[in-house]
Amino acid sequence: MQNNLSNWEKAINFHGHACPGLAYGVRASEIALEKLASERAKDEELVAIVETDACSVDGIQVITGCTLGKGNLIFKDIGKQAFTFALRKSEKAIRIVMQRVNIEDRKEKIKYILEGPEQEVCKIQWVDAKIPEKARIFNSVRCEKCGEMFMESRGRLEEGRVVCLSCFREYSRGW
């Protein structure tokens, strides 16, 4: 099914509002896809490493198809509007650092982020990609405290019982 929405419109539909942060994500995605000559990731061939968890990440998920759920979006809690994109099949990765835009008017600011000269809107670096291995499917186990299923790799041992992180934290808080 083909629709004629622009990237920006698609991003707003997903994110819920138009904001400069979202524009950062959309522009970074467009630049990355162009430079890497990639198409939107259907599976996991493209990986994004995001250094923020702000609005921009929604733009990246919509436009690049790198999503949290698919495991090809990796969040590093650094607090920078910086995004690295890598193709699994090659070793090249592009890191795009969005630059501060000092425009007062919100609409103008968004327009500038989306359409302004690339070299002013962002800084582009080519880096060696250390591409994380494909998302692994983990066994599910049942928490012996709350009875809910969870990913085995997230399990903790508490007095010899396998428990989930929620139950484990509850326990540790008492100390």
Contacts with Zn ion, residue ranges (CB under 5 A): 19, 21-22, 55, 143, 145-146, 164, 167
Residue 20 Cβ vs Zn ion, minimum distance, rounded to whole Å: 8
Output the smallest distance, CB 24 to Zn ion, in A.
10
Contact 131, 86 (CB under 8 A): yes
Of 19 and 47, CB closest to Zn ion? 19
Query: Which residue lies nearer to Zn ion by CB, 109 or 145?
Result: 145
Q: Least distance from C-beta 21 to Zn ion, angstroms?
A: 5
Q: Looking at beta carbons only, is 127 or 146 nearer to Zn ion?
A: 146
**Min CB(49)–Zn ion separation in Å:** 20
Q: How far is the CB of 165 from Zn ion (least distance, A)?
A: 8
Q: What is the DSSP letter of 135?
A: P
Q: Provide the strand spans (E) within the chain.
A: 46-50, 73-75, 82-87, 92-98, 122-128, 140-142, 149-151, 156-158, 161-163
Q: What are phi and psi of 6, to 5 degrees?
A: -75, 165
Structure tokens at 130: 């250390």
Alpha carbon of 120 to those of 23, 26, 129, 140: distances in Å? 14, 16, 24, 47
Which CB, 92 or 106, lies closer to Zn ion? 106
Q: For residue 39, count other CB atoms closer than 10 A to its CB.
A: 11
Pick the closer one to Zn ion by CB: 25 or 65.
25
